[in-house]
Structure 1
Amino acid sequence: MVYVFLANGFEEMEAIAPIDLLRRAGVDVTTVGVGATAVRGSHGIVLAADTLDSSAMPDDLEAVVLPGGMPGTLNLEHSPVVQKFIDHAVEKGAIVAAICAAPSILGHKGLLKGRKAVCYEGFEGELEGASVGSEPVAVDGPFITSRGAGTATQFALALLAALRGEGAADKVRGSILCP
């Protein structure tokens, strides 16, 4: 199961792209609302999460996805449930994917030390110990990071490739006419 966390102020494109593309490939995705099931994005779009954070259990965890946006990233970082899921994913060797400002959460936890990572411009200093690049998406072991809304499709496809292989990602890429 892939858990996509939605906190008030999340960047809509960064959440929707992974949810949509993973589901197109048949991956089980659960959206988790932090504090509420109706979650308002940074541009006023309200999404209905599949479950509330207090009900989510990480038992069958394949990946955790953290969309960026403000104040969504800060709301994710302050959530004990999100922190628990990240810790569980790391212990299990599952994928932890974060985009835009959200890689800062991983940096603050010390999870990016010695790893390649990318983020939204201006957050590089928050990726403590990482080798920060400028490519759209960085994959280093179980960590996938991406730069922002404009890279959301590439981020989602990289996540799909990590979960189900390049063939699955190429199939979805072709179906949405993505170069």
Structure 2
Amino acid sequence: MTQVHVYAAAGFEEVELVTTVDILRRAEIETLLVSLNEDLAVTGSHQMTLQVDLTFAEAAVETPTLIVLPGGPGANVMLQHAPLQQRLREQIAASRPVAAICAAPKVLAKAGLLQGKKATCFPGFESLLAEAGAIVSPYNVVSDGLITTSRGAGTAALFALELVRLLGKDNAAHQVGRAMLYL
């Protein structure tokens, strides 16, 4: 069964998180929000508070098909969360994909997952990715093997539709994209 975990750290970018979760759920992909701590309510960068489904500890017993990291200032919280870095490395080691948007690709960089991989990010973070060995791309959404990255809030829908496609639901990606007037 396909299951996606979307991590919500304090200061997450609301558009990136909500758009991604919404599109994945419209495609009928089980998508759960995960807090980085034990709080089930997490507040984003524009003071929107969301109720998440799982704590970080609860998510550890699950085996998600995909882990997604939204950006915004919350990416700095994720950057300092060593257990998340380890979880991301374990995900890749198990040949399961990870995805990050906006500033969050720097979390993948810190985890050592971008060496030799094509990746994109919010403008201004390119040097952090390059220092980690990434091949920085100017494209809005970039998939390279098990890693998918995107640039920011304005590319969130394209990012989410790419994730639906990568999860083997091409038809659903097309239907959802058309219904939402993205395609």
State whether TM-score is above 0.5.
yes
How many residues are treated as equivalent by the alignment? Answer: 178
**1:160 is aligned to 2:164:** yes
**1:31 is aligned to 2:17:** no
Separation in 2 of the partners of 1:75 and 1:177? 34
Separation in 1 of the partners of 2:61 and 2:179? 31
Which of 26, 33, 56 is matched with 1:53 structurally? Answer: 56
The gaps in structure 2 that reach 5 residues or longer are: none
Which residue of the partner structure matches residue 84 of structure 1?
86
Which residue of the partner structure matches residue 64 of structure 1?
67
Question: Aligned-residue CA RMSD in angstroms?
Answer: 1.2
Which of 114, 117, 128 is matched with 2:116 structurally? Answer: 114
TM norm structure 1: 0.94
TM norm structure 2: 0.92
Separation in 2 of the partners of 1:22 and 1:13? 14
- When structure 1 is superposed on structure 2, of 22-31 and 106-115 the one drifting more is 106-115
- The letter for the 2-side match of 1:139 is S
- The letter for the 1-side match of 2:14 is E
Provide Cα deviations, 1:110-163, integer angstroms capped at 9, x if missing partner.
211111100001101111111111111000011000000000000100111101
The ranges of structure 1 where at least 4 consecutive aligned residues each deviate by more than 6 angstroms after the TM superposition are none
Query: Following TM superposition, by how much is the alpha carbon of 1:109 offset from its aligned partner in structure 2, in angstroms?
Result: 2.2
Which of 19, 28, 32 is matched with 1:17 structurally? Answer: 19
Percent of paired sites with the same residue: 40
Which of 16, 34, 44 is matched with 1:41 structurally? Answer: 44
Separation in 1 of the partners of 2:16 and 2:124? 18
